[in-house]
């Protein structure tokens, strides 16, 4: 087990409905030392890629992305979720559907902060169905930039997102891939990497 898998086993809580609660260290209280370790692992996995910007999505991607950005020494931009239909022309816009929350959001990024010269590492906390990632990829494409890679803390390997994104040809690196979990025993099975 790697450092993140160990932490998930120690402090994660498996809930009914295939939900993994990691509030105590990842997306409510945040262990920034763990985030630094994640940043260093991403740096190793994306070695050789000329990354000059980190892109994430609010809310819980932001903390991780900021620490990862410190390790890469590049700026970080987060896509904002917007319910407004009055988005002006200064913004890139993508639709993101949340299966978990059963709602549709638009995500927006100002054209000032992403452009054709950007080589982007996309960072997020969870990958489930991949809708958020597809929205972020669309925004980089609209900007004419390049997606150099995608770094995820926890991928739910039994949902389709990881396969969809890998099939599109992107280098997707998930630090922990959960293949199954059992709320009655608390057991979590990770994919061997």
The residue ranges that bind ligand G4P (CB under 6 A) are: 19-22, 27, 59-61, 98-101, 125-132, 156, 161
> Which residue, 111 or 141, is less far from ligand G4P as judged by CB?
141
Distance CA 118, CA 145 (A): 5
In the complex, the smallest distance separating the C-beta of residue 117 from ligand G4P, rounded to whole angstroms, is 27
In the complex, the smallest distance separating the C-beta of residue 116 from ligand G4P, rounded to whole angstroms, is 26
Q: Residue 113 carries which DSSP code? A: G
Please choose, from the candidates 121, 89, 92, the residue with its C-alpha nearest in 3D space to the C-alpha of residue 106. Answer: 92
Please choose, from the candidates 92, 147, 139, the residue with its C-alpha nearest in 3D space to the C-alpha of residue 120. Answer: 147
In the complex, the smallest distance separating the C-beta of residue 22 from ligand G4P, rounded to whole angstroms, is 6
Element at 1 (helix H, strand E):
none
Distance of CA 174 to the CA centre of its chain: 9
Token pair for 90: 């200064």
In the complex, the smallest distance separating the C-beta of residue 48 from ligand G4P, rounded to whole angstroms, is 27
In the complex, the smallest distance separating the C-beta of residue 75 from ligand G4P, rounded to whole angstroms, is 20
> Which residue, 35 or 126, is less far from ligand G4P as judged by CB?
126
> Which residue, 60 or 106, is less far from ligand G4P as judged by CB?
60
Please choose, from the candidates 146, 139, 126, the residue with its C-alpha nearest in 3D space to the C-alpha of residue 53. Answer: 146
CA angle 171, 1, 8 (to 5 degrees): 90
Element at 128 (helix H, strand E):
none
> Which residue, 117 or 141, is less far from ligand G4P as judged by CB?
141
> Which residue, 1 or 103, is less far from ligand G4P as judged by CB?
103
């Amino acid at each position: 087990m790697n450092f993140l898998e160990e932490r998930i086993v120690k402090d994660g809580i498996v809930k009914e409905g295939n939900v993994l609660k990691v509030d105590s260290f990842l997306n409510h209280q945040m262990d920034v030392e763990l985030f630094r370790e994640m940043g260093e692992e991403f740096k190793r996995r994306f070695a050789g890629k000329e990354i000059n910007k980190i892109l994430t999505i609010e809310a819980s991607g932001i903390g991780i992305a900021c620490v990862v950005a410190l390790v890469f020494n590049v700026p970080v931009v987060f896509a904002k979720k917007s319910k407004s239909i009055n988005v002006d022309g200064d913004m890139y816009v993508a639709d993101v559907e949340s299966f978990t929350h059963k709602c549709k959001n638009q995500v927006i990024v100002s054209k000032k902060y992403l452009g054709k010269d950007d080589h982007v590492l996309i960072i997020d906390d969870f990958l489930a169905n991949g809708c958020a990632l597809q929205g972020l990829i669309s925004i980089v494409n609209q900007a004419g930039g390049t997606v150099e890679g995608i770094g995820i803390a926890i991928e739910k390997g039994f949902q389709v997102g990881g396969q969809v994104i890998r099939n599109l040809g992107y280098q997707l690196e998930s630090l922990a891939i959960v293949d199954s979990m059992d709320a009655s025993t608390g057991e979590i099975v990770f994919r061997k990497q």
